[in-house]
């Protein structure tokens, strides 16, 4: 990758790592569904404006919008809700580390469902190492609990699994001839429509109270920068540097989440968490063969 590509990668990791930071601030005052709806609705408005300004045409086929509904459910409604709910009990850094298992779930799901992405030795070893990292992070203490931290960690892992399902499902957009930016806009619009009635039904009147200035700014940053703009950067990097290089952003997201949480929220992580994050990173490097190539080059 060029220096420009590395710059895009680092900026994207900062935005997506910052999402965990802004969510942690937002859950201090707002209910889960209000945060998730504001995130997708504001991001949808931003992307609709971007699409219209750039002169792109909005899709009209019903089949495309049905696919947007499925994609929005898998890629936005379920994972965003689980992450926000989980971060009521977890630090932003720990949530980002657990979310780093997304490529592992994606690889496993694709290996079982797609004929052209079967499991290989690299992928299998990487999955085992990555899952060991998750166990290391959760620890036997969490597994002994019946609620609280364990369920919060399982919620983040559930979000990662949902992201994996979405990544496999998203392949059909290429066959439909849907541009990635249009796909991002469509799924966010569909997610907003799905979440609006759910939020109105299950959120009490107190949940709609005007938040403080800091939380309001956090919501705007979460939607506009960490969701809408991040999508645009990701699709540009995907187009220019390829899927393998773009996937490296997952290794960097926890680092920025940890840095922001430590600097501004006073969050701390244990040595066990650091070892777990290292195992997850090693697993991802095994999946795409980078670790094996490095070891061969040193021998």
Q: Which two tokens stand for residue 290?
A: 């980078």
pTM: 0.85
Nearest CA to 231 out of 4, 27, 48 is that of: 48
Q: How many CB atoms lie within 10 A of CB 208?
A: 13
Residue ranges covered by each domain of the chain: 31-212+271-298
What per-residue string of b and e applies to 220-255 under the rule 16 or more CB within 10 Å gives b?
ebbbbbbbbbbbbbbbbbeeebeeebbbbbbbbbbb
CA pair distance 170, 67, nearest whole angstrom: 9
Nearest CA to 103 out of 89, 117, 92 is that of: 117
Q: List the pLDDT tens digit at each of the 299 positions of the chain.
A: 788 988 998 999 999 999 999 999 999 999 999 999 999 999 999 999 999 999 998 888 999 999 999 999 999 999 999 999 999 988 888 888 888 888 888 888 888 887 777 777 887 888 888 888 877 776 666 555 555 688 899 999 999 999 989 988 888 887 888 888 898 999 999 999 999 999 999 898 888 889 999 999 999 999 999 999 998 888 888 778 776 677 778 778 888 888 888 888 887 777 888 888 888 888 878 876 777 777 777 76
In this predicted structure, what is the pLDDT of residue 142?
A: 57
- Residues 6 or more apart whose CB falls under 8 angstroms from that of 231 comprise 43, 47, 181, 184
CA pair distance 90, 95, nearest whole angstrom: 6
CA pair distance 263, 246, nearest whole angstrom: 27
In this predicted structure, what is the pLDDT of residue 134?
A: 79
Inter-residue contact 103 to 247 (CB < 8 Å): yes
- Using left for φ > 0, alpha for ψ between -120 and 50, and beta otherwise, residue 88 falls in alpha
In this predicted structure, what is the pLDDT of residue 271?
A: 82
């Amino acid at each position: 990758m060029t220096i420009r590509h590395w710059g895009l990668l680092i900026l994207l990791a900062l935005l997506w790592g910052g999402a965990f930071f802004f969510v942690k601030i937002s859950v201090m005052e707002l209910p889960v569904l209000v945060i998730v709806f504001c995130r997708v609705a504001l991001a949808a408005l931003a992307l609709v404006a971007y699409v219209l300004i750039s002169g792109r045409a909005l899709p009209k086929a019903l089949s495309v919008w049905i696919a947007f509904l499925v994609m929005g459910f898998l890629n936005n409604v379920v994972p965003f809700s689980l992450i926000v709910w989980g971060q009521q009990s977890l630090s932003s850094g720990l949530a980002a580390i657990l979310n780093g298992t997304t490529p592992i779930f994606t690889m496993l799901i694709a290996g079982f469902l797609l004929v052209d992405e079967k499991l290989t030795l690299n992928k299998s070893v990487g999955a085992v190492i990555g899952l060991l990292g998750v166990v290391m992070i959760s620890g036997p203490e969490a597994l002994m609990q019946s609620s609280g931290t364990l369920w919060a960690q399982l919620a983040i892992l559930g979000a990662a699994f949902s992201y994996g399902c979405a990544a496999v499902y998203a392949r059909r957009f290429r066959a439909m001839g849907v541009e990635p930016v249009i796909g991002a806009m469509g799924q966010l619009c569909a997610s907003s429509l799905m979440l609006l009635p759910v939020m109105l039904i299950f959120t009490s009147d107190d949940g709609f109270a005007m938040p403080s200035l800091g939380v309001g700014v956090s919501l705007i940053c979460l939607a506009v920068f960490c969701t809408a703009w991040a999508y645009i950067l990701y699709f540009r990097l995907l187009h220019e540097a390829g899927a393998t290089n773009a996937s490296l952003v997952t290794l960097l997201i926890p680092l920025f989440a940890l840095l922001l949480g430590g600097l501004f929220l006073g969050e701390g992580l244990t040595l066990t968490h650091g070892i777990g994050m290292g195992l997850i990173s090693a697993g991802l490097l095994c999946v795409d063969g980078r670790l094996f190539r490095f070891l061969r080059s040193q021998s």
